[in-house]
Amino acid sequence: MKTYLALDIGGSKYLVGIVAEDGKILASRKGAWPELTPEAVLDTVCGEAQAVLKETGAAPAACGITVPGLADPARGMWVEAQFSGIRDFPVCEAVSARLGIPCFCDNDAQAYSLAEMIFGCCGNERDFLYVNVSNGVGGSVVSGGRLLYGSRGAAGEFGHCVVIPGGRPCKCGSRGCLEMYAAGPGIARSYAEAGGGTADAKEIAERARAGERTALDVYDRVGRLLGSVIAKGVNILNPSRVVLGGGVVGAFDLFGPALKETVREEVYTNANPEVEILPTPLGYMAGLYSAAAIAVSRTASGRTE
């Protein structure tokens, strides 16, 4: 059975593993960056890759790499990560030179959709949206069986849709973006502003499950704001499915009902009578599957871009 080396390079942490073509994870390792420089990233992921290769004795057909921020899959470049000094780093060439395995990279948000098509719940879907909610809100779009990149590789930026005009300033330069309310830090801020005190999104979710009103209200609002943006995406793209991933989706039990209700209220129902909204079945390992999915899709199609 074919195997793939998967390197999921996140903004603060990483997942490295070997994934078989049937979706079985043969070995995996995770950790946080000591610092986010090209050298530190390269040393860390290549060291972990050598460890999982040794552990499994696998001979991967290819290596897939997900990077945060902008990627140029055709040139194998990590173009830019907003929160670090990394710019125009030839990540595929560098990893390939060390490990002797052909490497392919893509932006993490785009790769999540590939992962759903190859390993997740969208193997038979030709039209779906993927929305990732963690420390930010990102996403990607599959239309007619093709992953949409847009003119600058940035299709699917659900997080920068304005939901509260004139609201919280966002790093993108706009105000009131969805990300400022629905991502982890935004949830913590809403909770503090509502008088709940200092807590992170996960802890607020636990308080909501224990019945705390402030925490329940915060998640209800997350659902309504996410639902409103998803409804617009559904009206524009007419998908059959919307898949949600990312750490915050662990609280889907709390915000899912308000999200679904808002989508039902706001979509053009006759055109989208049965759009299904569900959390990813890939869970925490979605990042690893995303990286593996890049390798699978590039080698299967014979493309080098």
Which residues of the chain form contacts with Zn ion (CB under 5 A)?
160, 170, 172, 174, 177
Which secondary structure element, helix H or strand E, spans residue 25, and what is its range?
strand 25-32
128 CA to centre of own chain: 14
**Contacts (Cβ under 8 Å, ≥6 apart) of 73:** 104, 105, 106, 294, 305
CB of residue 136 vs Zn ion: minimum separation in angstroms? 9
* Lookup: tokens for 208: 């909501």
* Lookup: tokens for 145: 């069986």
Give the helix ranges, DSSP H, for the chain: 38-56, 91-99, 108-118, 179-182, 184-193, 201-209, 213-237, 252-266, 286-301
* Cα–Cα distance measured from residue 220 to residue 9, given in angstroms and rounded to the nearest whole number: 31
Measured CA distances, 204 to 8, 189, 201, 248 (Å)? 27, 11, 5, 11
CB of residue 173 vs Zn ion: minimum separation in angstroms? 7
CB of residue 161 vs Zn ion: minimum separation in angstroms? 8
Q: Which is nearer to Zn ion, 174 or 235 (CB)?
A: 174
CB of residue 246 vs Zn ion: minimum separation in angstroms? 17
CB of residue 157 vs Zn ion: minimum separation in angstroms? 8
CB of residue 277 vs Zn ion: minimum separation in angstroms? 23
Phi, psi torsion values for 168, nearest 5 degrees: -55, 135
Decide: 110 and 140 in contact? Cβ < 8 Å.
yes
Q: How many CA atoms lie within 13 A of 109 on its CB side?
A: 26
CB of residue 85 vs Zn ion: minimum separation in angstroms? 22
* Lookup: tokens for 247: 């750490």
Q: Which is nearer to Zn ion, 28 or 174 (CB)?
A: 174
Decide: 116 and 135 in contact? Cβ < 8 Å.
no
